[in-house]
């Protein structure tokens, strides 16, 4: 009788350890997957920020040129000859006139990852509250300053 109880106790402990071990492994695997997902999200955001910085640097020259032209037109608007404007613009690269008057307001920094994270609710996957706040503030700042 003691032998049966001992054997049953050992089997019970083995089953208990097996279940506990598998639950622990599942929990660790879930935690690891969340960490990996968070890393992917943060890398996407970092990439968007870097691309936006490069975009801004490349657009800076164009913005300055547009600003110079707009200042020139604003100062000389009353005594401006349309032909002289056409001549001045024709000395520039092709389509400068179009870019100056129609496309200069177009500003679409590459923020697809940040927009996706905000829209699909992935932001909650980022555990660091400060990073979440900064992402929300960045999105608000970009939206209100540029659009």
Residue 84 scores a pLDDT above 80:
no
Residue whose tokens read 């001045």: 88
In whole angstroms, give the CA distance from residue 12 to residue 70: 83
Q: How many residues does the chain have?
A: 147
CA-CA distances (angstroms) from residue 113 to 38, 41, 71, 122? 13, 8, 36, 10
What pLDDT does residue 86 have?
62
Distance in angstroms (rounded) separating the CA atoms of residues 65 and 86: 16
H or E element, residue 104: none
Decide: pTM greater than 0.85.
no
Question: Which tokens is 95 given?
Answer: 């389509």
**135 touches 45 (CB < 8 A):** yes
SS3 (DSSP) at 105: coil
- What per-residue confidence (pLDDT) applies to 36? 92
The model's pLDDT over 18-34, given as tens digits with 9 standing for 90+, comes to 888 888 888 889 899 98
Q: Find out whether 97 and 65 touch, Cβ atoms under 8 Å.
A: no
Note the pLDDT tens digit of each residue in 87-142. Answer: 666 666 555 555 555 555 566 777 778 888 888 888 888 888 898 888 888 777 76
| pLDDT (tens digit per residue) in 24-68 | 888 889 899 989 988 988 898 888 888 888 887 877 777 777 777
Around Cβ 48, how many Cβ atoms within 10 Å?
Answer: 20
pLDDT (0 to 100) of residue 53? 83
């Amino acid at each position: 009788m003691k032998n049966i109880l001992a054997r049953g106790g050992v089997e019970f402990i083995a089953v208990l350890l097996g279940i506990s071990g598998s639950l622990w492994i599942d929990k660790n695997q879930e935690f690891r997957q969340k960490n990996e997902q968070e890393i992917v999200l943060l890398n996407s955001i970092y990439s968007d920020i870097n691309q936006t910085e490069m975009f801004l640097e490349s657009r800076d020259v164009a913005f300055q040129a547009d600003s110079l032209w707009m200042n020139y037109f604003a100062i000389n608007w009353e005594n401006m000859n349309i032909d002289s404007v056409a001549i001045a613009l024709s000395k520039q690269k092709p389509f400068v006139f179009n870019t100056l008057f129609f496309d200069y307001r177009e500003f679409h920094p590459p923020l697809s990852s940040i927009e996706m994270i905000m829209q699909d609710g992935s932001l909650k996957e980022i555990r660091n509250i400060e990073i979440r706040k900064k992402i929300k503030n960045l999105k608000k700042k970009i939206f209100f300053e540029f659009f």
